[in-house]
Each structure stands twice: as C-alpha cells, then as structure tokens.
Amino acid sequence: MSKQQLIEKAIESRNNAYVPYSNFQVGAALRTKSGKVYTGCNIENAAYPVTCCAERVAIFKAISEGETEFVEIAVAANTERPVPPCGSCRQVMSEFFNPDTEIHLTNLKANTMTIKMDELLPFSFQKTDMDK
Ligand code: THU
C-alpha cells in the first residue's frame, strides 16, 4: 500500500470516530512490516480522560493481534495544519516504533508532513532508562 493509500485509509477511518463531546474526528492507519494495515479512530467517553485517540486505537489493535514491527502510520483530521499527535500518543508510538518509523500527518486539504519517530518525540523515556 502506498503512502497516499494509507492516508486515504486514515481519512476514511474518521467516519467511525465516536466523538459526541468534541465532534472532532480523527483517523489513523498503521502499516506493519508484513504489509497489514490496522486502522483506528478516536473513541470518547463521558468520563473525558478515558478517551482514546485514533493513533493509540490503531497501535493497540495491532499489538493485540501480535504485530511488533511497524513501518509507517498516517493520521488525519480536519485541522488547519497537519494534525499534531498528542503527547500520550507520541509516548505510545515511541514504545513500539523504531526511531526511523515514518509518521504521516495530514488534514483534509492534503497538507501533509512526514516526520520520523525520533523527530516527533526526541529524548523520549525508554525501557532502557530503567536499567542501572
Ligand atoms: N485526538 C486524537 O484522536 N488524536 C490526536 O493526536 C489528537 C487528539 C482526539 C482525542 C479527542 O477525542 C479529540 O481528538 C479532541 O481532543
């Protein structure tokens, strides 16, 4: 699947967003090394902090299916600039992505930027930081 097709999947996934509180639909599409694509949308909750972002839904779906190697993810929302992932999603991405995993951020006007994991969250806390 091409980068453009992955972006289209992310845009399409916005349609399933459960967003009665923000009315802000986000979609994500994650491609594994084996070529499978896992999609995600944001899912909100009346207890607001329980909300899960589209990126984390896609990543957790993939992890729960036994996937461990990821090549790229696309994230889409109706924003002015390419949608910036929140801090929690950046930390979750850094747990499972390689430093060179590509993150394609887009809006509905086709303003797209691609950034690598280590640029999106530099100096991230890693499991190795707990080693003495
Ligand atoms: N949201 C995402 O799904 N991903 C992001 O990277 C930014 C924020 C969602 C969470 C919430 O449902 C809505 O957007 C407003 O914050």
Task: Give the pLDDT score at 48.
Answer: 97
Helices (H) and strands (E) in the chain, counts: 4, 5
CA of 42 to the centre of ligand 1 (A): 6
Look at the chain and report how many structural domains it folds into: 1
Query: What pLDDT is attached to residue 14?
Result: 98
Domain CATH number, residue 122:
3.40.140.10
Ligand 1 atom 9: residue of nearest CA:
53
Q: Mean of the pLDDT values across residues 12-16?
A: 98
pLDDT band with cut points at 50, 70 and 90 for residue 123: very high
What pLDDT digit, counting tens, does each position of 48-107 carry? 999 999 999 999 999 999 999 999 999 999 999 999 999 999 999 999 999 999 999 999
65, 57, 119: which is closest to 92 by C-alpha? Answer: 57
Give distance in angstroms: CA of 75 to centre of ligand 1: 10
Ligand 1 nearest-atom number relative to CA 21? 12
19, with CB counted inside 10 A (0-12, 13-18, 19+), is middle
Residue 105, domain extent = 3-130
44 belongs to the catalytic site: no
Q: What local confidence, expressed as pLDDT, does residue 71 receive?
A: 97
